Amino acid sequence: NSKLRHVEKDVLIPQIMRDRAKELCSDKVQAFTKCCQETGLLMVVKCRQENTALKDCLVGYYSDPSFYEECKAEYLKQREEYRATGIKKKRQKFTPNV
C-alpha cells in the first residue's frame, strides 16, 4: 500500500529531503559555517555570498520533482521494512555518486 497520509507527505518525506539536501550541499554548509565562525557578529553582512550559495543549493533540491520522488521512494522502502519487521532502522547517510 503506497498511499501516503498527510503527515507523511508534509512532514516525514520533507524531513528526508532536508537531510539529504544538506548532505548533498555539505561543501556549502561547511563554507557558510566556517565564515560564520570566523566573522562573529558581522556574519550577516560578511557571509552573504556563502549564505546565498547554500540557499540556492538547498532550494534547487527542494524544488526538484525527481528528488522528491527519490526521497518518497526511500521513505516508502523504510516504511515497508518497518511494517515487516517492527524495527525502525536508522537512516543511512546518503553518499552521492561522484
Signed CA dihedral, 50, 65, 70, 80: sign only: positive
Please give the pLDDT value at position 85: 87
- pTM (2 d.p.): 0.77
Cα 48–Cα 54–Cα 57 angle in degrees, nearest 5:
140
The pLDDT tens digits of the residues spanning 8-66 come to 999 999 999 999 999 999 999 999 999 999 988 888 889 999 999 999 999 999 999 99
Q: CB within 8 A of 76, min separation 6: which ones?
A: 2
Q: What cell does 51 get?
A: 549564505
Please give the pLDDT value at position 3: 85
